[in-house]
Amino acid sequence: MKKRIFSLLLMAIMIVTCFITGCSAAKHFSASKSSDASFVRLDEDPDGQYIGDFYLDDFLISNGATDVWKSNDSYDGADINAIFKNDICVVFHFDFDKDNHFDFCHLTKVKVGAIKDGYSAGDDTEIRSNWWRVFDATDPDDFAGNGYSSKHDIDHAYTIYPVRGFYANGTLLSVPTYFTDGFKASIKPYLRIKPKRLNSDPFADSNKVGGKSKRGQ
């Protein structure tokens, strides 16, 4: 009798576990479908935090980037820079987890500004702008919109397909699965602004986007 009860309890636990896992997978699939899934190659049998590859280079160019390159590659991380048609510049900053040097290099911060006095694409590029809008990419509610974390998968990530040498100290870069939704919520609004309105942050006093507006250099 005891064995039967134990078996029933074990079966119940397995059903609950499968249900939770299934919900998580469905939640992720839904999030991927709502994003631009054409730039994602999911693993056939995803296991763990990293569930596929993301084609960052193609994604940025398809959204109007005219130049994309890596800079400031070091033991601490790296930057991926993108310039867009209306002179908006975006810096995607990646950091290593100092407590886990064997992990990939994660997107932690996104800076949006407007080109000041031109730029040069190089390994030690420091793009100059009169202002910056800085987003915490580790906070989905800041990067992808208030309340995002309660409705979408925020626990998984993609590794960036390493074209153009998109590595940091020889290690793959990674972005969260909500990256494209964050791009649409936080960066796309700036890409619709005409250059003559970019002398200062056009959303400095607006709650339409997250992040914080800061003086540039």
Average pLDDT of span 29-52: 69
The answer, yes or no, to whether residue 196 has pLDDT greater than 50, is yes
pLDDT-derived band at 177 (thresholds 50, 70, 90) equals: very high
Examine the domain organization and report whether 45 and 25 are in the same domain: no
Give 163's DSSP letter.
G
CB within 8 Å of 132: residues ≥ 6 apart:
111, 112, 113, 201, 213, 214, 215, 216
User: What separation in angstroms does the CA of 127 have from each of 63, 79, 131, 156?
Assistant: 20, 11, 11, 30
Examine the domain organization and report whether 112 and 132 are in the same domain: yes
In angstroms, the CA 173 to CA 154 distance is 17
Question: How high is the pLDDT of residue 116?
Answer: 80
Q: Is the pTM of this model over 0.85?
A: no
Examine the domain organization and report whether 26 and 54 are in the same domain: no
Examine the domain organization and report whether 45 and 21 are in the same domain: no
Average pLDDT of span 17-28: 39
Question: How high is the pLDDT of residue 33?
Answer: 44
Question: How high is the pLDDT of residue 125?
Answer: 66
Average pLDDT of span 76-95: 95
In angstroms, the CA 52 to CA 42 distance is 4
Q: Residue 83's domain spans which residues?
A: 38-215
The answer, yes or no, to whether residue 29 has pLDDT greater than 50, is no
Within 2-105, where are the H helices? 2-34, 56-62
- Name the domain count of the chain: 2
Examine the domain organization and report whether 42 and 29 are in the same domain: no
Question: How high is the pLDDT of residue 42?
Answer: 85
Examine the domain organization and report whether 207 and 159 are in the same domain: yes
- Residue 128's identity, in one-letter code, is R
Question: How high is the pLDDT of residue 206?
Answer: 87
Examine the domain organization and report whether 116 and 145 are in the same domain: yes
Examine the domain organization and report whether 8 and 74 are in the same domain: no
Examine the domain organization and report whether 28 and 49 are in the same domain: no
